[in-house]
Amino acid sequence: MQKEKTDFLVIGSGVAGLSAAIELSKHGKVLVITKDIPTEGSTEYAQGGIAVALSDEDEVGIHYEDTLRAGDGLCREQAVKTLVEEGPERIMELISWGAEFDKEGAKLAFGLEAAHSRKRILHSKGDSTGKELERVLINKARSIPNIKRYPFTLAVDLIVENGACLGAAVSRERTPSIILARATVLATGGTGQVYAVTTNPEVATGDGIAIAYRAGAMLEDMEFVQFHPTSLYLPSAPHFLLTEALRGEGGLLLDSSGERFMKRYHRDMELASRDVVSRAIITEMNRTGASHVWLDLRHMGREFIKKRFPMVYATCQRYELDIAKELIPVCPAAHYMMGGVKTDIFGRTSIQNLFAAGEAACTGVHGANRLASNSLLEGLVFGKRAGSAAALEAAGQPDVDGLQLGLLPYSIPAHDEIRGDLRRLMGRNVGIIRSRNSLKEAAEQLEKWSYIEDKVFVTRRELELKNMIQIASLITRAALLRKNSAGAHYRSDFPMKTTNWKSHIGITKEKGPFIEE
């Protein structure tokens, strides 16, 4: 089997992976692997923007309070403090590397999104912020000779010996090989693809979280899956995200009779936090039997919509929907994983030499519900921190060598059928509103597929399926154990916050899910 050595291995080339790689390159040779083309990941598709307390009317303390409020009592305060305090410096650094954010006159323009008490969302070309970040970070990484990048290289498993990570087993163009590294950073993004209705790109199958779990790392908060309230609902179209900034600029949610139903759910109406709005929409859809509700932008005027949201406008036009004069059919979609591989604020996991950052990690910064547009910032802040801590830890490590690993590829028939069944099961039973019965039923079905978890695969679809089964099962088991409702986790059989609701749920392979002290 082929073997390659590098100082640092970074798995994933979104905002978190690239931020880590740029930092690590100051200390040695970095190899960034990614399972698709370098830009394919959630970062590239981010629309609304990036939250940062930089406007004249804002303060980091207010950003801190808003983040805690959205997190519904479960944020780790030190992580939030780090995010909001280091955020402005990371943004200024990004601007110095060439990032262009929209301006009003000579000043940066800040947008409003749900649950923010100030306008603080920087955006680029209206609604293409993620693309701009990815462009700038990839160009920066390309300019650094110490960074090498392998696209179409799939991380299959981590190599862990005596409690320390030595690198990863990968499949490069279907050929198994080993990459040895003194430190490894997991930045593989989210898990949206385990749900049939999702805003996430195809790469978001939770690989890094599943891989870390199999290697023995501790996970946390896996029950907290964020559903975005407004994805496009058209039989002929994918569930394209309709950014929250549309509601921030005055977009209205209407039911089939044209009523602004949010007034019955929350005083902040369309700008209540995401969990509140998603739950309200699902409740309305269940009550009326409708497959969607409506988003109304018609009062904004065509010129404003085209200028402020050019990508949303053009995409809807492609599906023959004129959002300047027609109502937009929308429904909630799985969007973001608040949980993941448990880390401290330096990206350290429970395994030596293994670090995690971005959506694959759980620093506790989002608690039970992420504040809109905080995750690009999280990728910048904690990606850099993970890179810097990994370099420090690796400095004292001996060179890794001499390892042999057996990969015996296995293949499963009908894996695409199981994939579809799994994604529908998760939407039906482990979605916005859950109960013991729905979760139990899901857990039993997932158990029937668990034989796949022991197999080794080198083809992407099969490996992804194995990871998706594992992720679905981790979400379901954590959701069963949390017998209360908080943030994005709502149990119809336990709708209130019970006495120990502030505890986090950890999961390891050895112990299964457990309530942390």
Contacts to ligand FAD by CB under 6 A: 11-17, 33-36, 40-43, 45-50, 129-130, 154-155, 187-190, 199-200, 203-204, 207-208, 241, 336, 358-360, 373-376, 379
> Closest approach of Cβ 244 to ligand SIN, in Å?
3
Determine the 3-state secondary structure of 124 from DSSP.
coil
* CB nearer ligand SIN, residue 372 or residue 472: 372
Tokens 């690198």 map to which residue? 167
Look at phi and psi of residue 516 and say left if phi exceeds 0, alpha if psi is from -120 to 50, else beta: beta
Residues 6+ away with beta carbon under 8 Å from 201 = 40, 41, 42, 44, 45
Catalytically annotated residue among 76, 149, 274, 385: 274
The full DSSP string for 161-201 is ETTEEEEEEEEETTEEEEEEEEEEEE-----GGGSSSBSS-
Binding-site partner at residue 12 among ligand FAD, ligand SIN, none, CB < 5 to 8 Å by type: ligand FAD
* Count of residues that bind ligand SIN according to CB under 6 A: 8
Binding-site partner at residue 191 among ligand FAD, ligand SIN, none, CB < 5 to 8 Å by type: none
> Closest approach of Cβ 36 to ligand FAD, in Å?
5
Q: Is 184 in the site for ligand SIN (CB under 6 A)?
A: no
Binding-site partner at residue 188 among ligand SIN, ligand FAD, none, CB < 5 to 8 Å by type: ligand FAD
Look at phi and psi of residue 382 and say left if phi exceeds 0, alpha if psi is from -120 to 50, else beta: alpha
Q: Which is nearest to 400 in space by CA: 121, 118, 166, 140?
A: 166
* CB nearer ligand FAD, residue 204 or residue 277: 204
Determine the 3-state secondary structure of 88 from DSSP.
helix
Q: Is 375 in the site for ligand SIN (CB under 6 A)?
A: yes
Q: Which of 373, 429, 473, 476 binds ligand SIN (CB under 6 A)?
A: 373
Residue nearest to ligand SIN (CB): 48
* CB nearer ligand FAD, residue 157 or residue 441: 157
Main-chain dihedrals φ then ψ at residue 37, nearest 5 degrees:
-70, 155
298 given a catalytic annotation: no
Query: Of the ranges 212-220, 319-327, 350-358, 372-380, which one interacts with ligand SIN (CB under 6 A)?
Result: 372-380
CB 5 within 8 A of CB 180: yes
* CB nearer ligand FAD, residue 329 or residue 358: 358
Binding-site partner at residue 340 among ligand FAD, ligand SIN, none, CB < 5 to 8 Å by type: none
Binding-site partner at residue 115 among ligand SIN, ligand FAD, none, CB < 5 to 8 Å by type: none
CA distance 193 to 331: 16
* CB nearer ligand FAD, residue 407 or residue 443: 407
Residues 6+ away with beta carbon under 8 Å from 72 = 275, 367, 368, 369, 486, 487
| Paired tokens of 88 | 């402005």
CB 197 within 8 A of CB 231: yes
CA distance 494 to 356: 32
Q: Is 372 in the site for ligand SIN (CB under 6 A)?
A: yes
Query: Of the ranges 15-23, 76-84, 243-251, 385-393, which one interacts with ligand SIN (CB under 6 A)?
Result: 243-251
Per-residue binding letters, 13-52, with ligand SIN (x by CB under 6 A)? ----------------------------------xx----
CB 11 within 8 A of CB 168: yes
CB 165 within 8 A of CB 352: yes
Strands (E), 256-403: 293-296, 328-337, 340-342, 354-356, 361-362
> Closest approach of Cβ 70 to ligand FAD, in Å?
13
* CB nearer ligand SIN, residue 47 or residue 485: 47
The site for ligand SIN (CB under 6 A) is made up of: 47-48, 243-245, 372-373, 375
Catalytic residues: 274
